[in-house]
Every structure is written in C-alpha cells, then in structure tokens.
Amino acid sequence: MLPLLFTLISLPYAPEALEPVISKETIEYHYGKHLQGYVDNLNKLVAGTEYDGMALEEIVAKAQGGIFNNAGQILNHNLYFTQFKPFESQKLKAEGNEPTGRLADAIIRDFGSLEAFQTEFEQKGVTLFGSGWVWLAADKEGKLVITQEPNAGNPITKGLKPLLTMDVWEHAYYIDYRNRRAAHLHALWQIINWEEIERRYNE
Ligand code: MN
C-alpha cells in the first residue's frame, strides 16, 4: 500500500487577490515555501511511524516534537489561508466587513461588541511574545474565547474548536509590514471571510 501523503492545500483565491493587505510576494513565500516546507517535512517524519495515515487533527492532538510542530503548522496554515476572501470584493474599511447571523450574535454575547472583540484579538496578537498564533475558538457549548498559542499551537489541544486565526510568525508579515505586526493584524479584518468562519462555528 502506498503511504498517504499530505499535500499542499489549494488557495480559494488568486495569489494577488489579497493585495494590498497581503502581497502576492508574501503568498509566494508564506504559502509556496513555508507551508510547502511543513508538508514536505511531515511526510518525511511520519513515514513508517504510528502517525502514518492519521488525520492532521489527530496527529496534532497526540504527537510531540517535530511531528507535532510540522502537523500543527500545516493545520494552522490550512485554516489561515482558507479564511480569507479577495480584497477587491470588500469595502475599503474593515468596519464594512462584519460577521452576521449566529456567529455575530455569539461575538456580541461573549465580547460585548465586534469592536471590543477585534481590539482584544489584535492586542493578544501584538503581545504574543515570539512566534505563534492568536485564535478565536469555541468550547463545547459554543462559547467563544481568544487564545494565544506559541509556535505551532492550536486550540484543539485544549478541547476547543478553532474558528479564526492570525499568524504572528514574522514570515507572515515581514515582507509587507516589516516590524509593524500591529498594523498587519489590524489590516487583516478587511479580508476575513466571515461566511467561512460562521460555517466553521456551525459545523
Ligand atoms: Mn505562517
């Protein structure tokens, strides 16, 4: 039997479609080189181990060390890159791109307002020391929480469902924003595909 290989996900938009929030060059490096690298590494690391043939989520829940790091980075980037929609279809102001429905109701219930949620989310991204990810996640009852996860961390290791994430590794923003992590995080709201985030919440 041939080994089950992990593969690079397809992007649901053209590589330049997120400009000017995320440049084509950043996509070429972040998706084309960094994510591809994690995929290649994981395929080498799991070959012949108990993790061979396991789903990414299961590996992230069970593994440690290099296998956890590479599986986590693939899972995180898959959720990250598929949560965006083209900038062209958006209004210029982040305030014009808002969630609706059950997810919007939950954000207001658990954070007070969309603005309060976004402010806290950005703040947790800015204050995450070093490399990692800031997440919006839901518990079993649907309550929303923001978590900071270092390195390749994902809230599924805490029993939470990951919904939305911002990557604060420097490779995510240094080409376009240099050291201005806060400016990068604030700009990302303009391209969040809230329909996809709500689909994850309702799943
Ligand atoms: Mn990244």
Structural domains of the chain sorted by starting position, each given as residue range(s) with its CATH number in brackets: 24-83 (1.10.287.990), 88-202 (3.55.40.20)
CA of 68 to the centre of ligand 1 (A): 15
Against a cut of 0.85, is the pTM above it?
yes
CA of 173 to the centre of ligand 1 (A): 9
CA of 14 to the centre of ligand 1 (A): 18
CA of 72 to the centre of ligand 1 (A): 11
Calculated CA dihedral for residues 189, 136, 175, 153, nearest 10 degrees = -170
CA of 195 to the centre of ligand 1 (A): 22
CA of 163 to the centre of ligand 1 (A): 16
CA atoms within 13 A on the CB side of 156: 21
Each of the 203 residues of the chain gets a pLDDT tens digit; together they read 555 699 999 999 999 999 999 999 999 999 999 999 999 999 999 999 999 999 999 999 999 999 999 999 999 999 999 999 999 765 555 557 999 999 999 999 999 999 999 999 999 999 999 999 999 999 999 999 999 999 999 999 999 999 999 999 999 999 999 999 999 999 999 999 999 999 999 99
